[in-house]
Amino acid sequence: MRWLARWRDSDGNQVTEAFEKFDDARKRLSKVTVEVDEGTYIAKEKGDTLLRSIAEQWLDDQSFPNPRTKPQYESRVRLHIIEPLGDIKIRQLTPSKIVAWIKLLRKTLGERTAGLIYSHLNSILVMAVDDEVVRKNPCDSRSVQRVKPRRQIRGSKDLAVDWNDSEGIKIHLPDPYKATVDCGRGIGMRQGEVFGFSPDDINWLHKEKVVHIQRQIAHDRGVMVFAPPKGGTEEDPKDRYVPIGDELAFILAEHIRLFPPVEITLPWMERDGPPVTVRLMFASRERKPLNKNYFNYLWKAALEAIGLIEALNDKPVGRGRVWEKCREKMMHSLRHLFASEAIAGGVDVYTLADLLGHEDPAFTLRMYVHRVTGAVDKARQAIGQRYRSAA
């Protein structure tokens, strides 16, 4: 270390770095001088900052209207970013390390979840660039951009579960839960909204019956809570109204007659929130809120019974039985069925987006609308009618 390169950083402080060879010292000094002049110079000690401390700072800076959101962010960042990458110096976080990390994410998580976690890392590194801890964001490199997971995957052309499939699922569900199928395909409810559905949410005495979707059962740090529908807050609850016909109203009324509502008390919005009591349409055998893990077991068993999926072992349902991956065929598929049938029946996309609780009709079209049985014949008949009218 015979040669010293000396320079002053952007704050006027003198910095010295030692080298064995004169040419190495000269090249370093030339490069640093350009960086200081251009305002892109980053002090070495800043680059030695661990990703862990930057991620912690990023988490502290986050604030959300929904009190359940921040714990979810913290869980994802700590488990999937800080744990595997936290001890790496920020200047040593290369694109190749991020590519390897993405591959690891994909082994254990779905594409959308991996995409969400990747977006957190990208935001953390954007903050690091803004704070001049690192000169550029490695997520912007072409090698990372080529393999980055996508949060939104374009919807398939065909329905994962069509109307006949939903009839089969309904047949194979236990009697107290058969009407959950009608809540999904006939009202467009999410699973949590079905679990939080009350008979008091229907205006039974009016001729034109409407369902007021105003709550869901969600989880806050492992505790079930009542909450507004997805994305809702106290100021903007994201509730919506969906009209139903007499046939569906009769199905729901018959369910209530056979399986009287159960009063359930849960905290509101978060685990320490005020208690709220609601009469629920669906409850467990113990007269408690439905647990999604238990219900999903029943749903997968019904999918197997109608041949949509296969089991991977011979264990009983609820006692270790495992099925092939079937995310696209789970209860949320009934919202896709509701949307596709509505479009096929002539509902405009703006109205459909309102019924589903989407702010962007383009998202509704891109993700929720699929081909339905007989749609091609409808198109042929509609165009033929145009020609007949012209003639």
pLDDT tens digits, one per residue of 77-135:
999 999 999 999 998 999 999 999 999 999 989 888 999 999 999 999 999 998 888 88
CB 84 within 8 Å of CB 170? no
User: Is the domain of 208 the same as that of 305?
Assistant: yes
Predicted TM-score (pTM) of the model is 0.81
The tally of domains found in the chain comes to 3
Per-residue tokens: 256: 């209530």
185 and 255, same domain (yes or no): yes
Per-residue pLDDT of the chain (391 residues; tens, 9 = 90+): 788 888 777 667 787 888 889 998 888 888 877 776 666 666 666 778 899 999 999 999 998 888 889 999 999 999 999 999 999 999 899 999 999 999 999 998 988 899 999 999 999 999 999 888 888 899 999 999 999 998 776 667 889 999 999 999 999 999 999 999 999 999 999 999 999 999 999 999 999 999 999 999 999 989 999 999 999 998 999 999 999 999 999 999 999 999 999 999 999 999 999 999 999 999 999 999 999 999 999 999 999 999 999 999 999 887 899 999 999 999 999 999 999 999 988 899 999 999 999 999 988 888 888 866 665 565 556 656 655 676 6
Inside any domain, residue 383: no
Cα–Cα distance for residue pair 276/9, rounded to 1 Å: 60
Q: Is residue 308 part of a domain?
A: yes
Give yes or no: residues 75 and 189 share one domain.
no
- H or E element: which one contains 105? helix 95-108
35 vs 32: CA distance, rounded Å: 5
Residue 379 forms part of a structural domain? no
Q: Is 145 helix (H, G, I), strand (E, B) or coil?
A: helix
Residue 37 has which token pair?
């002049």
- Give the whole-angstrom CA distance, residue 140 versus residue 95: 9
- Same domain (yes/no): 109, 203: no
Q: Are 185 and 255 in contact (CB under 8 A)?
A: no
Q: Indicate if 350 and 305 belong to the same structural domain.
A: yes
Same domain membership, residue 69 and residue 27: no
Residue written as token pair 């969600």: 218
- Return the CATH number at 235: 1.10.443.10
Contact criterion met (CB below 8 Å) for 16 and 6: yes
Q: Residue 391: inside a domain, yes or no?
A: no
Q: What's the one-letter identity of residue 216?
A: Q
In terms of residue numbers, what domain contains 242?
Answer: 163-368
Separation of alpha carbons 9 and 3, rounded Å:
19
Non-local (6+) Cβ contacts of 41 within 8 A are 9, 10, 32, 35
User: Is 68 among the domain residues?
Assistant: yes
User: In this structure, are residues 5 and 29 in contact, taking their beta carbons and an 8 Å threshold?
Assistant: yes
d(CA 115, CA 100): 14
In contact, 91 and 139? CB cutoff 8 Å: no
> Do 226 and 362 share a domain, yes or no?
yes
